[in-house]
């Protein structure tokens, strides 16, 4: 009996794959699917971020990567792209990166973001995360610690994307 059930499942899978390949069934990325376009995060002119952190820590790339890694429910997630008329467009600004105290001490990352459906604003947030680096944190550098903050904020943004609201606080600002 198990063999018959297994063969039936294989046949159903093969027929579904064939139907999808000739366009009879919708597949991820086709028109009507949910698409998220993440613009490369920026530093606004008044950002409180040192030149060394901007140059060395790759915070924009890390934030994009972690949002993409943790976001669910989208047929496609594009990073480093310009806003599109179709899909959701997420813009993020890194407004502050507190990196005082050399290797020791806490590092804090503050961001703000806006979410558009096409060109219509549908959500906004401010977020903050702070870390001391976890285990052996005293031996981790500034970029490593700010990277941990970026990872946590990426997870926070992905969670917020499930039900975006206006003027939301994420991370430590909830």
Do 24 and 70 fall into the same domain? Answer: no
The domain that contains 121 carries what CATH number?
3.40.50
CA distance 146 to 98: 9
The pLDDT value given to residue 158: 98
Q: CA gyration radius for the chain?
A: 21
Strands (E) in 56-154, as ranges, are 76-79, 88-98, 107-117, 120-131
What is the token pair recorded at 148?
Answer: 């941990």
Do 83 and 114 fall into the same domain? Answer: yes
**In contact, 74 and 35? CB cutoff 8 Å:** yes
Do 36 and 23 fall into the same domain? Answer: no
Put simply, whether the predicted model's pTM sits higher than 0.75 gets the answer yes
Do 45 and 56 fall into the same domain? Answer: yes
Do 18 and 84 fall into the same domain? Answer: no
Do 36 and 19 fall into the same domain? Answer: no
Do 87 and 152 fall into the same domain? Answer: yes
Do 41 and 123 fall into the same domain? Answer: yes
Do 2 and 73 fall into the same domain? Answer: no
Into how many domains does the chain fold? Answer: 2
What is the token pair recorded at 17?
Answer: 């794959």
**In contact, 115 and 161? CB cutoff 8 Å:** yes
Q: Across the 174 residues of the chain, what is the mean pLDDT of every consecutive 10-residue run?
A: 48 43 37 83 97 95 98 95 94 91 78 97 98 66 92 98 98 96
CA distance 30 to 75: 8
The pLDDT value given to residue 82: 93
Do 83 and 160 fall into the same domain? Answer: yes
CA distance 79 to 123: 19
Do 22 and 89 fall into the same domain? Answer: no
| Domain of residue 7, residue span | 1-30
The pLDDT value given to residue 100: 66
Do 136 and 86 fall into the same domain? Answer: yes
Chain CA centroid to CA 49, Å: 21
CA distance 105 to 137: 9
């Amino acid at each position: 009996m198990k063999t018959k059930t297994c063969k039936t499942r294989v046949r159903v899978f093969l027929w579904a794959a064939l139907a999808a390949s000739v366009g009879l069934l919708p597949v991820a990325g086709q028109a009507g699917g949910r698409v998220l376009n993440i613009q490369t995060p920026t530093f606004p002119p008044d950002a409180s971020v040192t030149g060394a952190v901007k140059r060395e820590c790759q915070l924009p790339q890390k934030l994009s990567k972690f949002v993409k890694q943790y976001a669910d429910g989208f047929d496609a997630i594009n990073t480093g792209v310009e806003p599109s008329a179709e899909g959701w467009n997420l813009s993020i600004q890194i407004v502050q990166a507190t990196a005082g105290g050399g290797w020791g001490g806490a590092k804090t990352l503050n961001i703000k973001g806006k979410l558009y459906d096409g060109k219509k604003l549908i959500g906004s947030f401010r977020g903050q995360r702070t870390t001391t680096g976890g285990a052996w944190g005293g031996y981790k550098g500034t970029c490593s610690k700010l990277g941990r903050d970026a990872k946590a904020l990426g997870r926070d943004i992905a969670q917020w994307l499930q039900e975006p609201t206006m003027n939301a606080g994420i991370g430590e600002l909830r």
